[in-house]
Structure 1
């Protein structure tokens, strides 16, 4: 047991230390006001593509916490729409924001990446369920935000992904807050019953299932393995393996 715990600690803290050392070498803004929040052309021009689309996106967040965490958000477009709709959760005011930023904007100067992209009829069929899940998010009131262990931006997106499992996405292991299910010991099952999540106040827990693979959670980070789409999940670093 001692050897197991030592190996587990090594697998958690070595990647976090490596990510932190790398982050300290990155040129980054010192404040929110100095950061670049402009669009990046990561997403196709919505005016030139009439298809419906759904995207799950993320980017490294700002400050020192950017060493070990990303900020995630949701983007969708109905068929024929000339613009995207974006939903984020932020840490001030009414936290769930609609179109507060350009759909593919940098987050705190960090370029975003796409976790999952769905287009066409499949995307069109998912949008009503996504909107319903957003409306049912339980931490949408003023003051319902906490950077760590949650509920934060990643808690919000993870809620939608559990409620609409047809999206077929799992947030990366360094999306701090994604495993927060509420105060105290909690359990959640994705709507299609293919993934189980256990959490102790977002500080420790595990996930297992066809989408999550097997993950151990500690202090907002996760380590695990994805069997269906072979990959390692490393805290502070992310998913290392086949593309989703």
Structure 2
């Protein structure tokens, strides 16, 4: 029994002391369509386990859109450390690899739309992003946070039929506006 306790304790301690975020993988997961290969419009929503022990029960989520014929994705993401630095929580950037590991955790697609439907919905998504009411706010619980943002976009663009994972803590906050 003593050895079992030591084994379990060791596993828990090692899980809590996850890799340093500065050295954790941010490599592409290889699950997004390559913009060089895919000419059609693309909408992708991703979720990956949150960093360190938070990943035991929560995910971080983000979305990416690629216009028809574009050679890059526009990624929209909300992070708390931006607010701590005096920047907006909502950040957008361009990349060819929107499916990067979230500080060591491989993302999963929670929604993927490719083709004419994506082409029609991207302007609606972009307009909804511009109206996001918590651009400068971040609170782990109850929100607004990284899971509030994609959920709110899904509520604004119901044709997406977005179904966020159970572990998207903060997604319920989106229904407040």
TM-score normalized with structure 1 length: 0.61
Contact 2:35 2:70 in 1 (8 A): yes
Give ranges in structure 2 of 5+ residues lacking alignment. Answer: 1-8
Q: 1:28 to 1:86 in 2, by over 3 A?
A: farther
Quote the Cα distance in structure 1 between the aligned partners of 2:93 and 2:45.
15
Give ranges in structure 1 of 5+ residues lacking alignment. Answer: 1-20, 189-244
Write out aligned runs for 1:47-196 (5 A).
47-91=36-80, 92=82, 93-99=87-93, 102-141=97-136, 144-181=137-174, 186=176
Deviations 1:115-148 (A, max 9, x none): 111110000000000001111010002xx11111
Q: Aligned Cα RMSD in Å?
A: 2.2
Q: CA deviation at 1:99?
A: 2.0
Quote the Cα distance in structure 1 between the aligned partners of 2:22 and 2:102.
12
Quote the Cα distance in structure 1 between the aligned partners of 2:72 and 2:119.
15
Report runs of 4+ in structure 1 exceeding 6 Å deviation: none
| SS of residue paired to 2:100 | coil
Structure with the higher fraction of residues in strand conformation = 1
Deviations 1:23-81 (A, max 9, x none): 94759733321211121211121111111111111110112111000111111111101
Q: Does 2:43 align with 1:43?
A: no
Structure with the higher fraction of residues in helix conformation = 2
Q: How many residues matched? A: 161
Question: More relative contact order in 1 or in 2 (CA 8 Å, sep 6+)?
Answer: 2
Q: 1:68 to 1:94 in 2, by over 3 A?
A: same
